[in-house]
Amino acid sequence: MSFVPTNQGNSDFTSNIDWNLINTTVKAGSRPARISMIVDLGEQERDDYITDVDFNDSKQNKALADGKASIEEIEGKAQFVKPLDPIQQVAIFADLVSDAVPYGEDNKPYRIMLNNTWEGDIKGTAFAAGNKLQNGNWTFASNSLLTKLAMATETEEILDGTTMDISLMLNKPFMATIVKKDGDGGKTYVNYKGAAPVPEIEGYSVPELSGPALLVQFSEATKEQADMLRKGIKDKIKKAGNYEGSQMQKAIEESEAAFKAGLDSNPTASTEPTNTGELPAEDLEDDCPF
């Protein structure tokens, strides 16, 4: 199944997983990994494009003349401001296949989200053409997470613009740069900082995923797939302009209804909220490790 751009059970309840213990277990540095899950976040709103005014910039001048941008005073300085249309976005996950950690009663490879976050909000990666190559083909912007991962996983079909089908990267190996940081209260945070190809070492190969790689698309999402999504991802998806009435909405609502039914049948289960404040990207705590 392909995924080409058009232009688990999560909960709100107390986690049974000791995330700090897990984060302490993960090793920092260059770690063998595989792309394990790609999630369609739908059509997301974007912040305005803001930069210094440059009257020698023909693109700025045209946007101003066409009424598609304006000059505004921001913090006492004239700025070029251009509203950006909503755009389809994705989230990418990788499994650190050599870092088995205790998710509840099971040991599984640590799954890390490769997208950035800001003040608790997941930053989706634009899923649209952004770079026209010399051969005339289009691909993703050169600074896109998708381009960087295509380079690291050596997915040539994306790099040369033959296709923009990012599902080709599923289960592909690469080396993930992992940074650990100690925070307040004895907490340890794990962050993704970059990717590189797997070095050629005689006799070495990156271990396989512990389960099938997963592609979650708006038009084909299932309840079982929604069960695999973290709360932060579901919250992001619900902000999408095309969420209402979508197959994704149906899948998420079925997943959440099933989870609630399970709680109703077990009234002694805790209903304390998991996320009680602003959390780093890799600290979106719920019972779903993925």
> What does DSSP say about strands 214-216 and 29-44: parallel, antiparallel, or unpaired?
parallel
3-state SS string for 15-83: CCCCHHHHHHHCCCEEEEEEEEEEEEEEEECCCCEEEECCCCCHHHHHHHHCCCCEEEEECCEEEEEEC
The sign of the CA dihedral 254, 256, 262, 267 is negative
CA nearest to 192, candidates 253, 247, 122: 122
Model confidence, pTM: 0.82
Chain segment 246-279, per-residue pLDDT in tens? 999 999 999 999 988 876 555 444 333 233 223 3
Q: Which helix or strand (DSSP H or E) is residue 113 part of?
A: strand 106-113
Chain segment 103-153, per-residue pLDDT in tens? 767 789 999 999 998 777 899 999 999 999 999 999 999 999 999 999 999
Chain segment 26-81, per-residue pLDDT in tens? 899 999 999 999 999 999 999 999 999 999 999 999 999 999 999 999 999 999 99
